Amino acid sequence: MYLINFSLTVSAAHSKFPLSVTDWNILVLFSSTFPECQLCVLTGGALQIDFRPAFWRREAVQRIRTTRTQKIQPHSGALALFSVRFRNCCPDLLVGAEVALSVGGKVDIMSQLMRVITRKMSTSRAVEKVVVIGGGLMGAGIAQVAASSGFRVTLVEVNEQLVEKAKGNIQKSLARVAKKQFKDDEAAQNGFVATTLGRLDATCSLTDAVRDTDLVIEAIVENMKVKHDLFAKIDSVAPQHAIFASNTSSLSIREIAQVTQRRDRFGGLHFFNPVPVMKLLEVIRTPETSDDTYKRMMDFGQSMGKVCITCKDTPGFVVNRLLVPYLAEAVRLLERGDATAKDIDIAMKLGAGYPMGPLELADYVGLDTTRNIISGWHENFPENPLFQPIGTLEKLVQDGKLGVKSGEGFYSYKK
């Protein structure tokens, strides 16, 4: 049996929750060669369907490569119609359903779909509207991918200039994604960008933005006090059911949540830069995070096409706990004069197969972010030698050399 994964986004045209009665039919068309498969979703009732065949196609091909299965060869022009009818089923609960289809077995397709429906129906309230606070590298990336995955997104920045900057960066990144997904089809590229931007608002008005949201993702500066001020401010304004999440790289989620009255609806959603490209999402639950909140966060992440892993609320979670000491060691190596920056990076790329060397990556992540993570951990764990401050890094940050975003870091990016 061959498994194809595709991502199906179903969203309610009229967003009044819940829509209670719905019929829908799924039609899968297999044309002469597998990569040309098309997915059509026919609907009844007040539904609007949003599907991403190119994304699906890419996923499917990758899956086949990684599992090393044989190439699927549907008959030329073959058409398989799988019609599924669900009554009394709320479509909002199906947003971003990850459906596994087995090719060549109608019964399996039906049972896989049924399993997805059952799972989604147990969700208490699915996320539909998302507010992302902070339009920097991470915030803009999160907002972009959430919008392109079918969510209604509002991005919040502190002033108009930063709103415009974030919008510009999202547009550039979207154009890149569109070019990749719809290679020779300019109309499809433009359509994808326009549809995504249509789901995305950007504003400076924080309290208005959170008033009717289902999920808030904070992606602002790594500073506990600033995060506390923000969450205290929005806690009384956001709806009761709304989940608050932080994209913090290194701070304790539990400590951030302390200023709110919704510690059971608080967790960590830690994305990676560049968000449109990096597949991972770390989902962090504190001892207070409820099962329902955790499940809604996992569902949300999967709907964004991410592979979600779970980690306890520990410093750096999984990735940064391993990655940041590694970056710090590379800076120390450079500081001691053991090797040049270029050679350190070449070494890790060619000797360990990393896509970027550690100093390139520190520049890419931002030297201020890297420095803030290390110094925060040093304050909390002064005895740990891995977290000792590094003079070279401190000096670069003091000089405003923050890496790619400022035009200079360990390397120069000035054009």
Report the interface residues with ligand 3HC, using CB under 6 A.
173, 176-177, 180, 249, 272-274, 276-278, 320, 323, 355-356, 361, 365, 369
CB of 308 to ligand 3HC, least distance (A): 15
Count other Cβ atoms within 10 Å, centred on residue 206: 18
3-state secondary structure 36-62: HCEEEEEECCCEEEEECHHHHHHHHHH
Whole-number Å distance between alpha carbons of 112 and 270? 29
Angle between helices 391-398 and 367-380 (to 10 degrees): 130
Question: Nearest to ligand 3HC by Cβ — which residue?
Answer: 249
Query: Residue 217 class from Cβ within 10 Å (0-12 exposed, 13-18 middle, 19+ buried)?
Result: buried
Minimum CB distance to ligand 3HC smaller for 214 or for 360: 360
Catalytic residue among 148, 149, 249, 252: 249
3-state secondary structure 55-104: HHHHHHHHHHHHHCCCCCCCCCCCEEEECCCCCCCCHHHHCCCEEEEEEC
Minimum CB distance to ligand 3HC smaller for 249 or for 289: 249
Residue 320 a catalytic site member: yes
Minimum CB distance to ligand 3HC smaller for 213 or for 372: 372
List residues bridging with 99 in a β-sheet: 6
CB of 136 to ligand 3HC, least distance (A): 11
Minimum CB distance to ligand 3HC smaller for 286 or for 369: 369
CB of 276 to ligand 3HC, least distance (A): 4
> To which residue do tokens 């289809």 refer?
101
Query: Residue 112 class from Cβ within 10 Å (0-12 exposed, 13-18 middle, 19+ buried)?
Result: middle
Minimum CB distance to ligand 3HC smaller for 287 or for 355: 355
CB of 157 to ligand 3HC, least distance (A): 18
List residues bridging with 199 in a β-sheet: none
Catalytic residue among 149, 320, 372, 406: 320
Catalytic residue among 128, 157, 218, 282: 282
CB of 303 to ligand 3HC, least distance (A): 19
Minimum CB distance to ligand 3HC smaller for 9 or for 320: 320
CB of 401 to ligand 3HC, least distance (A): 18
Whole-number Å distance between alpha carbons of 223 and 379? 13
Task: Please name which of 307, 308, 303 lies closest in space to residue 123, comparing C-alpha atoms.
Answer: 303
Residue 14 a catalytic site member: no
Minimum CB distance to ligand 3HC smaller for 274 or for 325: 274
- Which secondary-structure segment (H or E) carries 279? none
Say whether 358 sits in a helix, a strand or coil: helix
Say whether 289 sits in a helix, a strand or coil: coil
Catalytic residue among 157, 252, 270, 360: 270
Q: How far is CA 324 from the centre of its chain?
A: 20
Alpha helix segments (H runs only) across 182-318: 186-198, 206-210, 224-235, 253-257, 291-303
Tokens of 181: 């997904």
CB of 40 to ligand 3HC, least distance (A): 26
Q: Which are the catalytic amino acids?
A: 249, 270, 282, 320
